[in-house]
Amino acid sequence: QQPVQSPQAVILREGEDAVINCSSSKALYSVHWYRQKHGEAPVFLMILLKGGEQMRHEKISASFNEKKQQSSLYLTASQLSYSGTYFCGTEKSSGNTPLVFGKGTRLSVIA
Amino acid sequence: SAVISQKPSRDICQRGTSLTIQCQVDSQVTMMFWYRQQPGQSLTLIATANQGSEATYESGFVIDKFPISRPNLTFSTLTVSNMSPEDSSIYLCSVKGGGVNEQFFGPGTRLTVL
């Protein structure tokens, strides 16, 4: 079951904040966040585990609401380098199962 | 994190031919996967490469079109057979395991079919 991401796209000025959401209709074990720049492979940002804590990568943080089956990625004081497409990948059970990815959120940060 | 390399990094192929993509990891990993990313789209899982046994394919992908091998814990190949222009995509190797739950991606192979 593919998770649903919102918004599809967002444009920010440097220094502004943004939130990207990822939701699933199924119970989740973990949510993984990636950023992909044009022409490059997806880069792992962070993982949110069921029962785990809110995570942080530089000025980017994320939370995981198990009851709502939803994760949110918070980009604070955005920088030009934050531009790219953000994907959430979800996992229904623990162990060695592959991630299912949402359609992505295209983030553009302008000066 | 594991260091993943893929060969070739890109290729342009003729319709009807086949291409084999190699994925090499610098450490042993439990799981290896193959994804496809069509232009402007998300990441779609093709199959899980199982060591010593047949790969597990997702709906819409078949072994005759995408044969996969995984002879050991650090290496896998994906073949795209009898190619058509619709196979033009980026093919990504991805790994998980070795004690961590994170999933990492290789640099990808950009395939163009004429």
B28-85 tens-digit pLDDT: 988 999 999 999 999 999 999 988 889 999 999 999 999 999 999 999 999 999 999 9
The count of CB pairs under 8 A between chains A and B is: 49
Is the pLDDT at B25 greater than 90, yes or no?
yes
Higher pLDDT, A8 or A49: A8
The tokens for B23 are 């994925």
**Chain A residue numbers touching B103 (CB-CB < 8 A):** 32, 44, 89, 98-99
Cα B27–A33–B3 angle (5° rounding)?
A: 20
Output Rg (C-alpha) for chain B, integer angstroms: 13
**Mean per-residue pLDDT, A49-65:** 81
Half-sphere exposure of B95 (CA within 13 A, CB side): 27
Share of chain A above pLDDT 90, in %: 69
Q: Burial, A105: exposed, middle or buried (Cβ in 10 Å; 0-12, 13-18, 19+)?
A: buried
Radius of gyration of chain A (CA): 13
**A99 in contact with B at a CB cutoff of 8 Å?**
yes
pLDDT at A95: 67
Cβ neighbours of B72 (radius 10 Å): 10
Partners of B71 in the beta sheet? none
Chain A residues near residue B96 by CB distance under 8 angstroms: 96, 98
Sign of torsion over alpha carbons B97, B2, A28, A99: negative
- The yes-or-no verdict on residue A97 having pLDDT over 70 is yes
The nearest CA of chain B is from the CA of A99 a distance in Å of 8
Find chain B residues with C-beta within 8 A of A2's C-beta: 42
For A9-45, what is each residue's pLDDT tens digit? 999 999 999 999 999 998 888 999 999 999 999 999 9
Q: What is the mean pLDDT of chain A?
A: 91
| Percent of chain A scoring above 70 in pLDDT | 99
What's the confidence (pLDDT) of residue A96?
72
pLDDT at B99: 60
Residue B98 has pLDDT above 70, yes or no: no
* Most distant CA pair in chain B, distance: 42
> Are A103 and B1 a contacting pair at CB < 8 A?
no
* B52 or B14, which is more confident: B14
> What is the enclosing helix (H) or strand (E) of A106?
strand A105-110
Chain A residue numbers touching B92 (CB-CB < 8 A): 41-42
Question: Region A76-90: what's the mean pLDDT?
Answer: 96
For residue B85, whether the previous peptide bond is cis, meaning omega lies within 30 degrees of 0, is no
Nearest CA in chain B to A101: B43
Instruction: pLDDT band for A71, please (50, 70, 90 cuts).
Output: very high
Q: Name which of A41, A49, A103 is nearest B105 (Cβ-Cβ).
A: A41
